[in-house]
């Protein structure tokens, strides 16, 4: 099922393309179409308003939120949490990541990627967890504000992980 996600995305696009024509055939169909469009518009507006708030992380990264595309990666390090947190902030600043929001108490970093040709915007959450004995785990979560990412999540994930590994190389 390597291409299952791609086939579902194409099917979804086709259905969205056909649905308005089908709805407009019936009396009151325009009202349903308008309501559907307004719901999507309202959701996107709320997402853009609250996407900079770290308290909404659980909502955006939830497996039940089907309107965002998500990717999660886990990296284990033999470094204490504080040192790794400082190194992650340093790496993000050095590699041109913009719009950093940092929560020092929760060891959480939010990086906002802007709207582009491939995406309606993306949040990258970097969480560091202390595993004891001087070991830490870095959790990279990428959330795009769309159902399908056209590979942008994966590209950003690979870039981030490579930059993180390169930052430890002398």
Cα-trace Rg, the chain:
19
pLDDT bucket at 170, cuts 50 / 70 / 90: low
Beta bridge partners of 70: 143
> Where do the structural domains in the chain lie, given as residue ranges?
1-50, 54-170
Residue 10: pLDDT above 80? no
Its pTM stands at: 0.75
**What does DSSP assign to residue 114?**
P
The residue behind tokens 């390169």 is 166
pLDDT at 6: 66
- Provide the 3-class DSSP secondary structure of residue 122: strand
Q: Which of 12-16, 37-41, 60-64, 126-130 has the highest mean pLDDT?
A: 126-130
Residue 73 has pLDDT above 70, yes or no: yes
Q: What percent of the chain has pLDDT over 90?
A: 2
Distance CA 168, CA 54 (A): 27
- Cβ(101)–Cβ(40) under 8 Å? no
90 pLDDT tier (thresholds 50, 70, 90): confident
Rounded to an integer, what is the distance from CA 39 to the centroid of its chain? 21
> What pLDDT, on the 0 to 100 scale, is given for residue 2?
58
Assign domain 54-170 to its CATH superfamily. Answer: START domain (3.30.530.20)
Summary mean pLDDT of the chain: 80
pLDDT classification of 117: cutoffs 50, 70, 90: confident
* Residue 67 scores a pLDDT above 80: no
């Amino acid at each position: 099922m390597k291409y299952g996600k791609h086939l579902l995305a194409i099917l979804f696009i086709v259905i969205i393309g056909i649905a308005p024509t089908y709805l407009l055939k019936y009396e009151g169909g325009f009202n349903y179409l308008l309501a559907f469009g307004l719901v999507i518009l309202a959701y996107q507006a709320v997402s853009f308003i609250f996407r900079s708030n770290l308290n909404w992380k659980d909502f955006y990264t939830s497996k039940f939120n089907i309107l965002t595309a998500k990717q999660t990666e886990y990296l284990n390090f033999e470094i204490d949490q504080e040192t790794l947190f400082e190194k992650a902030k340093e790496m993000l600043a050095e590699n041109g990541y913009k719009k950093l929001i940092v929560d020092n108490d929760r060891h959480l970093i939010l990086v906002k990627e802007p709207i582009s040709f491939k995406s309606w915007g993306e949040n990258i959450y970097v969480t560091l967890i202390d595993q004891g004995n001087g070991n830490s785990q870095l959790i990279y979560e990428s959330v795009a504000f769309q159902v399908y990412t056209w590979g942008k999540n994966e590209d950003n994930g690979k870039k981030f992980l490579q930059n993180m590994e390169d930052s430890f190389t002398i």
